[in-house]
Structure 1
Amino acid sequence: MARSIRTTRSRWPAGAGSILAAVAVLAVTAAPAQATPAPRGTVQVSVGLNGAAPDDQSWSQGISADGRYALFTSWATNLVSQPAKSGRDAYVRDLRTGRTERINLADDGSVLDGFTDYVAINADGRYVAFESDAVNVVPGVQVQGRNEVYVRDRRTGRTELVSGGLTSTDTDKFHSSYAPSLSADGRYVAFVSSRTDLVPDLQGTDPSLARPYTWDYNIYVTDRRTGKTRLVTRGVDGKPGDSMSLNPTISADGRTIGFTSLAGNLLPPEPTPDPAAPAAGGTASADVELAPGAAAALPRGAQSGLSRPTTGVYYTYDVESGRIRAASLDLDGKLGYASFDATISPDGRRAIYALPEPGGSTNGHRYHTVLYVRDLRKGTVTKISGGLPGTASVGSSDHGRITADNRWVYFSSAADNLVVGPQHPGWDVYRHDLRTGRTERVATAPDGSLGNGSSIAPVVDARGGTVVFGSTSGNLLPGAGGPEHVDYQVFARTTGHHGDDDGDND
């Protein structure tokens, strides 16, 4: 993609909050165990060397299942001693020891000569998947200077190419792969790609299908153990999806993949929502107020398009059967278009998505988004961000992430009717208890007062003990009462583990 698109300092991060929390942490760890416990309360994750302030902005991306390793991306150049060669890099911070390491590195450990936007971490934090347009990631592998997906083993220090293709016959420089998601053990990697050489029956597909700014991207899943790749978005006609699919999330066991798609051939015609029916959750081109960073789920070139979509149908894919099912239903059972921040629970049982509702928004859009959770086994749908009884709001809610016990949903919202008491004037981070229906604010100052900036993009560990989020607030840390920051930085708050005594995993 064009380098000019990528170097805009203030543009939002791609795929913010890519996370896979597992029900249990794997026995193998990425680093020797430390006796030091994780700090309590709120701490800053994006910290410069020797405690210095970061010299640029950072964004929350993920967290290991035990809450120890926080994953984030940053433009800052003073987070580690090894100098950066490009703009955005990816980092893991050990919340117990305070150690930060750059993880988008070449196989020989050298710094990359390209950018990284999309990242994911597995359950125990050993593996981190990332995409990059660098040409020096794996020596001897020609990637045409385009974006590809890699996995870094933090224990061995090795980096491998995941989206390399069967024969590397696709030489179109505009084809790319991005947005990885990892299974709990790091074996399976789901990702988006416009390459034509990833599976056997697509060999020789016309490269012109994915020229710059097109929507022809599909979802794939690769087994790193066997090296085999499968096309996820295969239509009922046996062909790849006929339009863009994006934002895959793979379950902890690797058996379920959730994704958003604009393709019209994934299901028989009957279940497809009517694009002219906003009552069914809005339309793919509706004037919707999105959460900060939501548009970054699109490929980089597409983000600059004037007619880029804002919503799409959310689907789940069963790896064992190959079945695709539409997931983004509203309370009336109507299929709607969800924003691009939709995801699934670690066990693959629930889909979490935001649907547009008419009635305006805080910034003048015709629609705002409301968060839903659907139990894919029972078929029930719960509205998360509807607000306190007797109230209404035009503030959007999105970026929902759920704990492994399927009880707590963390999300971003600009709504002003979710909790009693003083209301935040902008975006803030909340958590909702699916058992009791109670919602509470998360990104607060030490005395419980409101943050004085905007807080977004929460990611949470398996048990809900630690949440990582981005914020411009200057009063979140003990003893810090400064004004709102210009740049977003990443923070972690220890909330305490939640019990799993509701028996809701049956």
Structure 2
Amino acid sequence: MHKKILVLLLIFTLFLQWNGPVGAANDTLLESISSSGNQSNSFSYESMVSGNGRYLAFSSDANNLVNGDNNGIIDVYIRDLERNNTECISRSSSGSLIGGYSPSISGDGRYVTFTSMESGLTSSQIFLRDRILNITKIISLNNAGGVADGDCGESAISGDGRFVAFSSWASNLVSGDNNGLSDIFIRDLILNTTKLVSIRANGQQGNFESYNPSISFNGQFIAFVSSANNLVNNDNNDAEDIFVKDMVSGVIKIVSLNNNGEQANSYSSTPSISNDGTRVAFSSMADNLVDGDNNSRRDVFVRDLVYNITKRASESSLGEEVRMESSNSMISGDGRYVAFESGNRPPQVSAASPGHGWLYSNPKNQISQASALVPGDIIDSKDIFVKDLFTGDITKISWSVNGSEANGDSYEPSINYNGSVVSFTSWASDMTNNDHNEWGDIFANGVLVSNPEFKLNGYLTPLTLKAGQWVKVIASTSYPAKSVVALIKGVKINLSFLNGHWEGSYKVPAGEKVGKQNVNLMAYSFLANDSCLLSFNVISTPAKPSNPVIKPVVKPVIKKQTILNKIKSNIPIITKPIIVKVSKPVSTNKPVKATSTVKTASGADLVKIISNIVFPKNIGVERTLITPEYKRYVENLVKKKDYNSLAVEVYYWNIFNYVSYKSGEASKKAGKTGNFWDFWDTTMFHVYGYSNLALWAIS
């Protein structure tokens, strides 16, 4: 039930947000074409869309996408979705084409990395193309500038363009690399340094191969696949796992776990990490990552690294399992959407890097018997889907131009920061009109619009004060920011995100001169920045502001207080164990009250307290749904002595009971006896604005 509350609250909030789901089928356009609109004369694949959704990088064996392409090998291209221009990226600084594959693109589309074996090289290397300066350089180097002495595989550039993670069999990129295996490395393009990623903080290097990196926006977190069993303790499943390395702390975590912390019982692959590094999407053959996984197929999962919760993304909007292969997932930068391919593909060989290929098989005894992910989908073909992790909705992208099943397989999706643009490869010829080249092409789905304006708003309280007093800086942004900073007379204040806005405080130094003090406020998002100038006045006499600073009062006890009053007040700062009891209402028509008689010594006690809440019978809800996952979450809060979060949990349950009560009243006035959820919209406005609606991650 708690899960449903938070999800519904979140749905209401996100209805007002700037970012929406990807477009419908008729928003799909063919993009592996030349600037003049000519269709490619060979196979195109490996598309990667930039975070801002404007640029699309892809690999192609065609020789007619740009003039002068006569090198006879695969090249990397960029398609400007706004200006409809196509340019070749895999070229030297002098302009000659050098070939390449496996592209990765920065958030703004300026930098593109790719793998290439340029003429004269003895092994494949990672290259970086600066599209502004028209410079291309090898970046698979050691700290002395030496080129990798072994082949390099996939690369992933951070959204800010500073770091590049890549796999390599080289042994000379860092000292002490003697395992003779593929490892993960990271190159700092500003400091020109290279570090080994697939190594523990104690210096123990992975004892089996690591590959397929994915990197967070600022390069701090790197997800990757590894067969090593020594990167974390007790790795004994004898299978490829998904790991995340924190490059600041040096700590490696295993991602392919279920909610009990148990390892996947089969192999996992294709990790994709969100911009902030808190969520990782991946595919796995394991059947123990979530309850009810009985399809004996690869599924797509998402792991929340903050709350240590794993969910399955490759299921219908109703949570139904489907018996089809789902893989090649990519999560949007904001962590809300997951794009993936799913379906049962007949035997097929598709092109890969030179000298390689993939064979996909589907034995007759594995043809799907289950329902499709969305209505109308023919499950024996490979299609592209997008899962909304907030609402649970799932959308099929790869429809034909007339809205029917496409006549070819689609795979390898890529998704931008806010989920508004999805690119993919498809062999279908009916996704757009006049697709007649009979090759696999690159398509993009979504209406490309200018990014919404990123706007910073801020204010100070109080505006007049004397030396020695505190001024509070409060800020909000038009869409999520990654950081907000205030500069006051050279002092940098990093604001914290609390209850839907950013806060920070500054103490005016003793002896400060009387007069106006400026505050430079700056906000940074993944796509844009903004700033504003604020000011306050320092006076020599005691200030009498109209809006004085109120110091927070520590309240270790939640006194007798009705839920209505609780909603109207702030949640107290808790520094000692909560003393709270939620008792049954004296009648089914009144909200629950909180009293100060029982100490919550364990998570089980809190669950019992929450269970004491009963729903008004006149709204048709007569039982509490306390799930095992939620119980473990509460017990973990107790174990960590996170009393503030525990207080929030009690607060939310009380809010729900209050809304239940108001819903019952609304239903009685309407002369109805329907289900509680029918009246949610009528009453949820009573609590909107008083509660932190961002607690969706534990849903």
TM-score, normalized by length of structure 2? 0.54
1:81-106 deviation line (CA, Å, top 9, x unaligned): 02231421100000111110110111
Q: Please say if 1:439 is aligned against 2:394.
A: yes
CA-CA distance at 1:393 after TM superposition: 3.2
Aligned to 2:37: 51
The 3-state SS of whatever aligns with 2:36 is helix
Aligned to 2:206: 241
Aligned to 2:115: 131
CA distance in 2, matches of 1:328, 1:151: 31
1:327-357 deviation line (CA, Å, top 9, x unaligned): 0113554212444322111221101111215
- Residues 118 and 179 in structure 1, CA contact (< 8 A), matched pair in contact too: yes
Matches within 5 A, 1:45-444: 45-48=31-34, 50-112=36-98, 115-135=99-119, 144-167=121-144, 175-202=150-177, 205=178, 210=180, 216-235=181-200, 238-268=203-233, 270=234, 272-275=235-238, 284=239, 312-336=240-264, 337-357=266-286, 367-387=296-316, 392-414=321-343, 416-444=371-399
Distance verdict in 2 for CA 1:81–1:434, change over 3 Å: same
CA-CA distance at 1:169 after TM superposition: 6.7
- Residues 219 and 233 in structure 1, CA contact (< 8 A), matched pair in contact too: yes
Distance verdict in 2 for CA 1:486–1:339, change over 3 Å: farther
CA-CA distance at 1:317 after TM superposition: 0.3
The 3-state SS of whatever aligns with 1:199 is coil
- Letter of the 1:155 counterpart: I
Structure 1 runs not aligned, ≥5 long: 1-23, 25-39, 137-143, 211-215, 276-283, 285-311, 360-365
Distance verdict in 2 for CA 1:317–1:51, change over 3 Å: same
Larger Rg: 2
Aligned to 1:463: 418
CA distance in 2, matches of 1:100, 1:395: 36
The 3-state SS of whatever aligns with 1:341 is strand
CA distance in 1, matches of 2:268, 2:47: 18
- Residues 350 and 373 in structure 1, CA contact (< 8 A), matched pair in contact too: yes
Q: CA RMSD in A?
A: 2.9
CA-CA distance at 1:430 after TM superposition: 0.7
Runs of 4+ more than 4 Å apart:
167-172, 388-392, 495-502
Distance verdict in 2 for CA 1:54–1:266, change over 3 Å: same
- Residues 104 and 113 in structure 2, CA contact (< 8 A), matched pair in contact too: yes
- Letter of the 1:218 counterpart: D
Distance verdict in 2 for CA 1:171–1:449, change over 3 Å: closer
Matches within 5 A, 1:14-53: 41-48=27-34, 50-53=36-39
CA-CA distance at 1:52 after TM superposition: 2.3
- Letter of the 1:240 counterpart: Q
- Residues 157 and 215 in structure 2, CA contact (< 8 A), matched pair in contact too: yes
CA-CA distance at 1:64 after TM superposition: 1.2
Distance verdict in 2 for CA 1:44–1:195, change over 3 Å: same
CA-CA distance at 1:466 after TM superposition: 1.1
- Residues 471 and 491 in structure 1, CA contact (< 8 A), matched pair in contact too: yes
Aligned to 2:515: none
- Letter of the 1:133 counterpart: M
Structure with higher helix content: 2
Aligned to 2:459: none
TM-score, normalized by length of structure 1? 0.73
- Residues 44 and 61 in structure 2, CA contact (< 8 A), matched pair in contact too: yes
By relative contact order (CA 8 Å, sep 6+), the higher-ranking structure is 1
- Residues 47 and 58 in structure 2, CA contact (< 8 A), matched pair in contact too: yes
- Residues 423 and 442 in structure 2, CA contact (< 8 A), matched pair in contact too: yes
Structure 2 runs not aligned, ≥5 long: 1-17, 19-25, 289-294, 345-370, 453-478, 481-499, 501-692
Aligned to 2:431: 476
Distance verdict in 2 for CA 1:504–1:490, change over 3 Å: farther
- Letter of the 1:126 counterpart: R
Q: Which of 408, 412, 416 does residue 453 from structure 1 map onto?
A: 408
CA distance in 1, matches of 2:258, 2:440: 33
Distance verdict in 2 for CA 1:125–1:171, change over 3 Å: closer
Tell me how many residue pairs correspond in the alignment: 402
